[in-house]
Each structure stands twice: as structure tokens, then as C-alpha cells.
RNA sequence: GCUUGGGUGGCGGAAUAGGUAGACGCACAGGACUUAAAAUCCUGUGUCCUUCGGGGCGUGCGGGUUCGAUUCCCGCCCUAAGCACCA
């Protein structure tokens, strides 16, 4: 055994041994309980970043822990390898996207292996390979049969910069999620998956996973689905036979309606457009144009509208109401029309104030209801949006408004002008992309037969390999005649193939099921495989996927259940969302000049080329580039383009994979952001070296192997008993940490145990049998518990302790056994307070009675100083914890 | 604006069925070893006062409950993230 720890030497060795022995390869077995440990798969951009290192270090630690605890642990990895960067590389550099992707995977697989991550590599999948995307297409056909996949012409979110269609999620805030440029609208025929069919299940099944998912993720999903219960109410348009249907959650306020407000795109506007005045038309055009623009998050949008001159009849009161067009009514939500009740809705209030529309209160605080019902006009300072008691509402006067909702809805139903309704914010998922690098949608358009799904036996619809990709306009596939020209699967006549490909979020919906059975040529996976391994026990990834990926995959699971592939509703039992890894960035902003393309853009400088001045607290005072330019600074997500990325390979080279992994876990709790700062990593190296040196000192001594058998309890010195106590307390603490998904505290606990070994100042030569036994117990436990954090060092030390390399931690070791009787101290220190202030500490047996503790405390000299001359009013004794003496 | 987290040393962070605040690490300072440096080991490190025995203050701010509050309650301030006209 080397006297010093050399990461490089042992890491290569154990990585090879693990690979050759298939240490992390698992099969289904009833001999052990299963555990499916999953981390979000990487996009093969070419390089791992620190976020990956963090994510996968956490996952591997947990996989190791569960393995040590006797579970049959499945821990796979794969590649989310369809997507835009490959296509961008093809456009910019003329490379073949498949080759580019394969090369990146090759390199990144090496990076993962050099980190010593324990994956079952036989199960690897990659989305861009035909044996995978074949089943994207298989699922599409199933969903088509089930009516879950359909085509419609719609306005889609369109990013001009990326020449791509975006989902609502990807275009949220009016900016492209990828490039940050404004999103516009465009009319296109698109394929959709009917996520709304499962809207209620997506909400209600959250009860099944509540315990294992962070509330903030569930909340975002709940908001995203946005179910709201209310009613549709039809308002007749006077002097026509038309109706305007509105959606409201507050039908109880209907007597307070002062207008009907519709979106500029509403059917009724279209219908009467020709008869509107030029002024009205101008307002409508303006509102429509504004909607195509970017929504600026900061600025509150000024309410705008115009009276159409049309009148609608309130079906409850018979009152005639003006029909307005308002920019605050959205065509996409509800019916695109609302009844405006300014007294009880803030938006309507604002609108009514601006245009001088009447504001009539019809809901009142219960205690004021009588008074209000006597008054004709009620001036309101602001909208009253709470429930209360109805006033000025005919028959309904005096009724509590919350209960009246149900009755009034029933009334509307009975009289044929309304119905109960539930609406959702969630929209169906548009999956068509005018892109090359994705799964082709398996549909053929035949002149005779129409839209025809490809036959299962013809899957996969293969992506051609040799295509010039220019990045302009329609799908590159449309320009490949060999691809486009197909025969109709039904009639066999020449037909045209769909040239859109699927959103890459389709791939990540079910990839973790493919790991279970990645060679299956017939099915995405065999149901019996899924029955053994899934649901996933623990999923780990960034919370940036809280709504997109994690909603889509829940939707997909429900569809798979209905197809008959799985028997559960929810695919992931526990979800851990890790914080981002961020770092300081330095940049210069291009001033507003003629070129609109680059105006306001940031030009990043790598930190290595920046001279930074800091104040005493480490805050940056100024930063200058090499050529003397004053730079701005920020703390942002680490990435190559911002120049603040850290290369994992470099870290492994300098410090070793084990130290890098320990550091990334130790530096901050997983959920927190991790501000990258290399200073601390040396501490991780030092810790490993300390453990190493200690083990070395004892292993090479003659006493180490000369002693066997467990000594009698009486043979242990007080110090040795203390060491054993620390050992068993540490075992307990580390178990608890893992169970509660903490990774920084168990590292601290291991460091403490290692410090306790150094504090045990008995040299091997002078050690009694009992001393050697206590040290051995501590060291063996330490090494086993080190495995999840620093597996290479742990394997090497384990072999050193055994004196041979016949066994491996990876497949034979068990977590050390916690023994409560040893964790218990002989003597404990009890703090003694006088009037809540700490004044002394007394030593006592852990079994001491309250009376004993009180007597000990009062007998203490320091305590006496603070109590002398005063009257003892009360003594509080908390068993095993503290004594507090209250004096007057 | 709404919602949800979070404010603890120079820094990352420990500790909450209410019970020794600051574990562990980083950084810093002093010492040992060395011709010297690195590495290592030892000591110190919230803050103020001190006759060196100790003592006062201290977990964003102000109140409250309690023998005792970082922890519970009320009211503020700051901050991060998410949502943003969803009727």
C-alpha cells in the first residue's frame, strides 16, 4: 500500500475492474427488493458540465447506499440525443448530425466513466437511434388509434430566429426558451397530443405522489393545468339570433354585469366587422397587432377596448348590456368572452373606470348586507372579490353568494341558457416540428385515402442520413424526394409522407422504460419487465423541468397504462430537484447601435482573462478585461458560452474523481444553488488523504493482523469505548441522512469520524487487543460508508483492509450494522442554566433520574454562585438534555 | 401584483415533536517539523468588555407566548424563484 493517496492510480484500476466484472449490471430477481434509481439523461452537447456532475454524483451516492443496504439497484443512463444543437452544427459547419451526435456521446460516456459513476452500461439508450425512435412512432400510432393524437390547423408559437415551432411551455413569457428571442404567431397544420384528456387525472393523481415530490413542483404543475370550476352562460345578442357564451367562476355576481367583453378574435367580431365604424375597426386592428408582439413581463399592459354597439341580454335580469371588445380577454381561454362585473373583479373594475362604465355592487359583506340593499348606488374604491351576501339581485337577495353559485347554475341549466363547466389552462401538446433531427411522424397523406397512419410492420420510418440542412423555412425532410415519396399503406398508390418530426420532449417521456428492455424489437418494453422495475423509486434532476418534461412524462404514463403496458398511474415515486450550479460571469454589453441583431447583447469574457478587484467581504468591486475594458458581472448558470464553465475532466485530472464528487456533494445542500468556487475542493482531497494515511499506519503495523476475536466489554478503555460510540453514532447519522436525501451532512459525519480516529491517540505498537478491535471497527465502517461518496478510494481501502483483492465493495459489501447499545455514552454532559442562561455543565449517567440531575446541578459550585442569596422558584429537568434553575 | 421558498460568523453551511447556536469544511492567524518552501501536525478564530476567573450581546427588524425561542404566534423589511390580465 502506498503511503500517500494517488487518485489517478487507483481510479483507473477500479474503473477497469468494475467494467470487467460487470459490477453494476443487474437482472430481475426475487432474492432482493428492487430499487430504481434514475437521473435525468443528458443531451449530448459534447461536454459534461458541472450540473451533470452534481446530478450524477447525487444519484450514484444514493445507488451505492441502496446497494449497500441490500437492494437490487437499477442505475442506468442514456442520451437525449435528438434536438436542435446537432442541427445547428450541421447548418453552421456542414457536419452530419448523426456523426456529430455519436462522437459527442462517445466522449461524454468516457467523461461519465472517468467520474466512476456506476451504471449498467448494457442498458444504455439513445433517442436518435432507429431502435429507439421506432417506438416513439409506435406510441404515436397507438395514440392515434386512441384518439389521443390528432391534427389541426392552429396559430402556433413561432420563433423566427430558430425557425421553429414552440410549445406553450417553450414560449412562455413570449420569449423562445432556447434563444430568448421574441416569439410570434403563425398559422400551421400541426399534430397534437391530447394532454387535456388527462387534465383531471394529472391533477387528482398528485395525491399518490405528494409525499415524495417537492411541493413547489406540484404547485407549478397545478398552476400549469389550472383547473377552474364555473359555468357557461349564454347571452342573446339583441336583434339577432346569435348568442355570446361566456365562462365565469362567479355566476353569483351576474346581476352586477355591466357589459359583455369579448376578445378581438371572437367570432361575433368577425361577423359584424363590416358594420363597425372605422374608429372601432382601428382599435380592433391595434389590439390584434399588439397580441402578436412580445409580452413584456415588467410592464403592466394598459387596458384597452371599444364598444361594438351590439347589445346582449342578461338572461337573469333581462337587462340589455353593451358588447365591448377588450384587449384583456384572451381568445385561447374559456370562451373568449366574459361578463364584466367591475364591482367584483379587479380587471373589470379597471376597465370600467377607464371607460366610465357603471359599477354596481351585488355582493356585500354579510354584516353590511341590509344597509347595502337599501342604497341605490354604491361607490366602491376597489373591487370586492370575496364571497358575501347577494344584494340587488332580485330573487337571490340575502343569499350567501358561495352557495348561490350552485343554485344559480342549476337555474341557468333549467332555463336552457347555461351549464356547469370546468376549464383548464392546460392546452393539448403540439408536437410537430419543422425540423430534421427528430423522430419522423409516421403518417402518410394519400390523395385517395387521406391521412393514413403507417403500418406497425413498416416502422421505423427512417430518417435519411445524407441531407443538406440549411436551416431555412420548412422541414429539411420535405426536400428529400426519397423520403417524401411513399406508397399509401392502405391502397399502395404513390403518396406523400409527413415531413414534420416530433418534439424531442416525446423522447424523454418514456426513455427510462426503454432501459428495462432496450433490445426488445417488438415493443418499447415488455410489460413484465416494467412490472418488476417500475415505478421509478427515486428520480433526480433540475427543477427547470418541473412543468415540461415532468408533466409530459406523467401524461405519457397514463397513456401507457391505457395501452396496457403498465399498471400504475404515476411513474415516479420520489422526485428530488437539485439546484443549479452557477458561477461568476463577466461581460460587456454591446451598446444600442445600428445593428439591431446584436444590440444589447452580452459578450462574455472567460474569468481567467479578467482582472477582478474584491472588497473585504469578497464582493466584486470592479472587473477589467485584458485590454482594460470595464466589465459587468453577474452570477449565472455555468456554461461554456459564458466562459464560466468548469471542465469536469480537468477537475478529475487535478484532484481525482472521488474528491470532485465529495466536494460537489459537500459544498451545499442538493436543493440549493451551488455557487462554484474551487477553493473548497482541496478540503475534500485533504480528507481522503487523512483517511488514507490513518489506514496505512494501522494496516502495515504487525498488530493489525495479529489480533482477532471480539474482546470482552470490560477490556475496552474509556477512549476505546468513546471511539466505538462515535462509530455507531456515525452509522446512524449517515443512514438518517440518506433516508432524508441529504448529502452534505453525511460527508461532515464521515469527516468527524475520521477526526475521532486521529483523536484516539494510541499508536499501533502500544495498542491493546481491544484498542485494535475498536480501531478496526471504526475504520471498516468508515470505508464502507465512504463508498457512496468516494467509491474508488473506498474499494482500494477495502482491499487493503482485507489484505487481498478477491472481493469488491461494489458487489459484496453491506452497510455497517448500527448497534444502539454501543452508540450510547457512558457519561453525558448536562448543561445547567440559571434563569435560562448557561452557567455550568455537569457529567451524569445517561440513565440518571430527574432527581439525580437536579441534585448534581444544585451541587455545582458555579451554579451555587448564581443562586446564592436567591430563592429557587422552580427547577426544570429535561431528561438527558438539560437542567434549568429558576431563581428570584 | 399573486404564489412559494429563504434571511444564522469573513464564506459554504450544521442544529428545529422549543432545550449547550455556529457541527463539518473553506479562509485567516500563531506555533511545531524543515537550511528553506511545500506537505503534515498542533492551537486559535461570532462579537464587545475583562483584574484572564469570567461577564454582556448575538440566528433580518419589532412585538408576543414560555422557566427557556434560530425553532411557535402576530406585524414589518429584504431576497430568490415561479406565475402574470386564466374571467
Nucleotide minimizing C1' to CA distance for residue A828: B20
What are the helix and strand counts (H, E) for chain A?
29, 33
Average confidence score pLDDT of chain A: 88
Closest CA to A854 of A837, A888, A879, A827: A879
Nucleotide minimizing C1' to CA distance for residue A679: B26
The distance (Å) linking the CA of A836 with the C1' of B63 is 20
Q: What is the pLDDT of residue A377?
A: 60
Segment A231-254 shows an average pLDDT of 94
The distance (Å) linking the CA of A836 with the C1' of B73 is 21
Q: What is the pLDDT of residue A326?
A: 93
State yes or no: pLDDT of A379 exceeds 60.
yes
State yes or no: pLDDT of A52 exceeds 90.
yes
Q: What is the pLDDT of residue A782?
A: 96
State yes or no: pLDDT of A383 exceeds 70.
yes
Q: What is the pLDDT of residue A472?
A: 62
Segment A664-688 shows an average pLDDT of 90
**Contact between A390 and A399 (Cβ < 8 Å):** yes
The distance (Å) linking the CA of A326 with the C1' of B1 is 20
DSSP H or E segment with residue A86: helix A84-93
**Confidence bin at A597 (pLDDT 50/70/90):** very low
pLDDT in tens, A112-146: 999 999 999 999 999 999 999 999 999 999 999 99
Q: What is the pLDDT of residue A174?
A: 64
**Confidence bin at A167 (pLDDT 50/70/90):** low
Q: What is the pLDDT of residue A297?
A: 43
Segment A51-73 shows an average pLDDT of 96
Between residues A862 and A18, the one the model is more confident about: A18
The distance (Å) linking the CA of A669 with the C1' of B10 is 21
* Least confident piece of the model among A45-49, A407-411, A755-759, A863-867: A863-867
Q: Cell numbers at residue A189, please?
A: 397544420
Residue closest to sugar C1' of B39 by CA: A686
Report the predicted TM-score, pTM, of the whole model to 2 decimal places.
Answer: 0.91
Q: What is the pLDDT of residue A670?
A: 93
Could you give the CA distance from residue A543 to residue A547 in angstroms, rounded to a whole number?
Answer: 9
- Going from the C-alpha of A338 to that of each of A17, A59, A266, A318, A775, the distances in angstroms are 69, 49, 11, 17, 76
Nucleotide minimizing C1' to CA distance for residue A748: B24
Q: What is the pLDDT of residue A627?
A: 76
The distance (Å) linking the CA of A343 with the C1' of B72 is 39
pLDDT in tens, A464-480: 998 877 766 567 898 89
Q: What is the pLDDT of residue A211?
A: 85
- Going from the C-alpha of A149 to that of each of A191, A428, A438, A442, the distances in angstroms are 7, 10, 17, 12
The distance (Å) linking the CA of A105 with the C1' of B37 is 45
State yes or no: pLDDT of A221 exceeds 80.
yes
Q: What is the pLDDT of residue A756?
A: 94
The distance (Å) linking the CA of A691 with the C1' of B19 is 35
Query: Which bases of chain B are contacted by protein, using any atom under 7 A from a CB?
Result: 3-5, 10-15, 19-21, 23-27, 39-42, 55-57, 67-69, 82-87
The distance (Å) linking the CA of A614 with the C1' of B69 is 37
Segment A594-612 shows an average pLDDT of 62
Nucleotide minimizing C1' to CA distance for residue A880: B19
State yes or no: pLDDT of A587 exceeds 80.
no
Q: Cell numbers at residue A822, please?
A: 454501543
The distance (Å) linking the CA of A818 with the C1' of B15 is 22
First to last CA, chain A: 66
**Confidence bin at A77 (pLDDT 50/70/90):** very high
Q: What is the pLDDT of residue A376?
A: 62
The distance (Å) linking the CA of A423 with the C1' of B62 is 45
Task: Give the angle A201-A203-A204 at the CA atoms, nearest 5°.
Answer: 65
Between residues A496 and A472, the one the model is more confident about: A496
pLDDT in tens, A856-874: 888 888 888 888 778 888 8
Between residues A846 and A104, the one the model is more confident about: A104
Place of cell 490513518: A694
State yes or no: pLDDT of A218 exceeds 60.
yes
Segment A632-650 shows an average pLDDT of 73
The distance (Å) linking the CA of A68 with the C1' of B87 is 55
Nucleotide minimizing C1' to CA distance for residue A669: B13
Nucleotide minimizing C1' to CA distance for residue A751: B24
Half-sphere exposure of A723 (CA within 13 A, CB side): 27
Place of cell 399498471: A567
Segment A558-586 shows an average pLDDT of 91
Segment A805-826 shows an average pLDDT of 88
**Confidence bin at A603 (pLDDT 50/70/90):** confident
Q: What is the pLDDT of residue A133?
A: 98
Residue closest to sugar C1' of B5 by CA: A216
State yes or no: pLDDT of A639 exceeds 70.
no
Alpha helix (H) residue ranges in A375-434: 401-414
Between residues A229 and A366, the one the model is more confident about: A229
Nucleotide minimizing C1' to CA distance for residue A224: B83
The distance (Å) linking the CA of A838 with the C1' of B50 is 19
Q: What is the pLDDT of residue A170?
A: 65
**Confidence bin at A341 (pLDDT 50/70/90):** very high
State yes or no: pLDDT of A409 exceeds 90.
yes
**Confidence bin at A296 (pLDDT 50/70/90):** very low
Nucleotide minimizing C1' to CA distance for residue A876: B67
Q: Cell numbers at residue A698, please?
A: 494501522
**Confidence bin at A658 (pLDDT 50/70/90):** very high
The arrangement of strands across the sheet holding A872-878 comes to A837-844, A828-834, A882-887, A872-878
Q: What is the pLDDT of residue A450?
A: 94
Q: What is the pLDDT of residue A455?
A: 97
Between residues A173 and A758, the one the model is more confident about: A758
State yes or no: pLDDT of A410 exceeds 70.
yes
Nucleotide minimizing C1' to CA distance for residue A228: B86
Nucleotide minimizing C1' to CA distance for residue A297: B84
Segment A817-827 shows an average pLDDT of 89
The distance (Å) linking the CA of A827 with the C1' of B71 is 28
Amino acid at each position: 500500500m502506498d503511503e500517500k493517496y494517488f487518485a489517478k492510480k487507483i481510479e483507473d484500476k477500479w474503473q477497469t475492474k468494475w467494467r470487467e466484472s460487470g459490477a453494476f449490471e443487474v437482472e430481475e430477481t426475487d432474492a432482493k427488493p428492487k430499487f430504481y434509481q434514475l437521473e435525468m439523461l443528458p443531451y449530448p452537447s459534447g461536454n459534461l458540465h458541472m450540473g451533470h456532475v452534481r446530478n450524477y454524483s447525487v444519484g450514484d451516492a444514493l445507488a451505492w447506499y441502496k446497494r449497500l443496504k441490500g437492494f437490487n439497484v437499477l442505475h442506468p443512463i442514456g442520451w437525449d440525443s435528438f434536438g436542435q444543437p446537432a442541427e445547428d452544427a450541421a447548418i453552421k459547419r456542414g457536419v452530419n448530425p448523426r456523426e456529430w451526435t455519436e462522437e459527442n456521446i462517445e466522449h461524454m460516456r468516457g467523461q461519465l466513466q472517468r467520474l466512476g459513476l456506476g451504471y449498467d452500461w448494457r442498458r444504455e439508450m439513445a433517442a436518435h437511434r432507429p431502435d429507439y425512435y421506432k417506438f416513439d412512432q409506435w406510441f404515436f400510432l397507438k395514440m392515434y388509434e386512441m384518439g389521443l393524437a390528432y391534427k389541426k390547423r392552429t396559430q402556433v408559437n413561432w420563433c423566427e430566429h430558430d425557425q421553429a415551432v414552440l410549445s406553450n411551455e417553450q414560449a412562455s413569457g413570449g420569449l423562445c426558451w432556447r434563444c430568448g428571442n421574441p416569439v410570434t404567431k403563425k398559422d400551421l397544420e400541426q399534430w397534437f397530443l391530447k394532454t387535456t384528456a388527462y387534465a383531471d387525472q394529472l391533477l387528482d393523481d398528485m395525491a399518490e405522489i405528494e409525499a415524495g415530490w417537492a411541493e413547489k413542483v406540484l404547485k407549478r404543475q397545478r398552476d400549469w393545468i389550472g383547473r377552474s370550476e364555473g359555468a357557461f352562460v349564454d347571452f342573446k345578442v339583441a336583434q339577432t339570433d346569435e348568442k355570446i357564451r361566456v365562462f365565469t367562476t362567479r355566476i353569483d355576481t351576474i346581476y352586477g354585469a355591466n357589459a359583455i367583453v369579448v376578445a378581438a378574435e371572437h367570432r361575433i367580431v368577425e361577423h359584424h366587422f363590416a358594420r363597425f365604424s372605422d374608429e372601432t375597426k382601428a382599435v380592433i386592428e391595434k389590439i390584434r397587432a399588439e397580441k402578436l408582439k412580445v409580452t413584456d413581463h415588467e410592464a403592466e399592459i394598459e387596458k384597452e377596448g371599444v364598444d361594438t354597439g351590439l347589445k346582449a341580454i342578461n338572461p337573469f335580469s333581462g337587462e340589455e348590456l353593451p358588447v365591448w371588445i377588450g384587449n384583456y380577454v384572451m381568445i385561447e381561454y374559456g370562451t373568449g368572452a366574459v361578463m364584466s362585473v367591475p364591482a367584483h373583479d379587479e380587471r373589470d373594475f379597471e376597465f370600467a373606470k377607464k371607460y366610465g362604465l357603471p359599477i354596481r355592487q351585488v355582493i356585500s359583506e354579510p354584516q353590511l348586507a341590509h344597509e347595502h340593499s337599501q342604497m341605490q348606488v354604491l361607490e366602491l374604491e376597489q373591487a370586492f372579490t370575496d364571497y358575501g351576501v347577494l344584494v340587488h339581485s332580485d330573487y337571490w337577495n340575502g343569499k350567501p353568494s358561495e352557495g348561490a353559485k350552485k343554485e344559480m347554475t342549476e337555474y341557468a341549466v333549467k332555463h336552457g341558457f347555461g351549464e356547469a363547466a370546468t376549464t383548464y389552462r392546460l392546452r393539448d401538446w403540439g408536437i410537430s416540428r419543422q425540423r430534421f433531427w427528430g423522430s419522423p411522424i409516421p403518417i402518410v397523406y394519400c390523395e385517395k385515402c387521406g391521412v393514413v397512419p403507417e403500418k406497425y410492420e413498416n416502422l421505423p420510418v427512417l430518417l435519411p442520413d445524407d441531407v443538406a440542412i440549411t436551416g431555412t423555412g420548412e422541414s429539411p425532410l420535405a426536400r428529400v424526394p426519397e423520403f417524401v415519396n411513399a406508397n399509401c399503406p392502405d391502397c399502395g398508390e404513390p403518396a406523400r409522407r409527413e415531413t414534420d418530426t416530433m418534439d424531442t420532449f416525446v423522447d424523454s417521456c418514456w426513455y427510462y422504460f426503454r432501459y428495462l428492455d432496450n433490445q426488445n424489437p417488438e415493443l418499447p418494453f415488455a410489460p413484465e419487465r416494467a412490472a418488476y422495475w417500475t415505478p421509478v423509486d427515486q428520480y433526480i434532476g433540475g427543477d427547470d423541468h418541473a412543468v415540461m418534461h415532468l408533466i409530459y412524462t406523467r401524461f405519457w404514463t397514463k397513456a401507457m397504462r391505457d395501452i396496457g403496458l403498465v399498471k400504475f398511474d404515476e411513474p415516479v415515486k420520489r422526485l428530488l430537484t437539485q439546484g443549479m450550479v452557477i458561477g461568476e460571469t463577466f461581460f460587456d454589453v454591446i451598446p444600442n447601435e445600428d445593428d439591431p441583431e446584436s444590440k444589447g447583447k452580452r459578450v462574455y469574457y472567460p474569468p481567467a482573462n479578467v482582472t477582478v478587484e474584491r472588497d473585504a467581504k469578497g464582493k466584486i468591486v470592479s472587473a477589467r478585461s485584458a485590454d482594460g475594458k470595464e466589465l459587468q458581472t453577474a452570477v449565472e448558470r455555468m456554461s461554456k458560452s459564458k466562459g464560466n464553465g468548469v471542465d469536469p475532466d480537468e477537475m478529475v485530472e487535478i484532484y481525482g474523481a472521488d474528491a470532485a464528487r465529495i466536494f460537489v456533494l459537500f459544498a451545499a445542500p442538493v436543493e440549493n444553488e451551488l455557487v462554484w468556487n474551487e477553493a473548497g475542493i482541496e478540503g475534500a482531497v485533504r480528507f481522503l488523504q487523512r483517511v488514507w494515511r490513518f489506514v496505512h499506519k494501522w494496516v502495515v503495523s504487525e498488530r493489525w493482523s495479529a489480533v482477532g476475536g471480539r474482546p470482552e466489554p470490560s477490556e475496552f478503555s474509556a477512549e476505546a469505548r468513546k471511539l466505538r460510540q462515535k462509530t455507531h453514532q456515525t452509522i446512524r447519522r449517515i443512514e438518517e441522512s440518506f433516508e432524508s436525501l441529504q448529502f452534505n451532512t453525511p460527508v461532515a459525519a464521515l469527516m468527524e469520524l475520521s477526526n475521532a480516529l486521529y483523536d484516539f491517540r494510541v499508536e499501533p505498537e502500544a495498542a491493546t487487543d481491544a484498542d485494535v478491535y475498536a480501531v478496526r471497527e471504526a475504520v471498516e465502517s468508515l470505508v464502507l460508508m465512504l463508498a457512496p461518496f468516494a467509491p474508488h478510494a473506498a474499494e482500494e481501502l477495502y482491499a487493503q483492509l482485507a489484505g487481498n483483492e478477491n472481493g469488491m465493495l461494489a458487489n459484496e459489501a453491506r452497510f455497517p450494522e448500527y448497534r444502539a447499545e454501543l452508540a450510547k455514552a457512558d457519561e453525558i454532559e448536562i448543561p445547567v442554566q440559571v434563569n435560562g442562561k448557561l452557567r455550568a455543565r455537569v457529567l451524569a449517567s445517561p440513565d440518571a433520574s430527574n432527581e439525580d440531575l437536579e441534585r448534581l446541578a444544585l451541587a455545582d459550585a458555579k451554579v451555587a454562585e448564581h443562586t446564592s442569596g436567591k430563592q429557587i422558584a422552580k427547577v426544570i429537568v429535561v431528561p438527558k438534555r438539560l437542567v434549568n434553575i429558576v431563581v428570584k
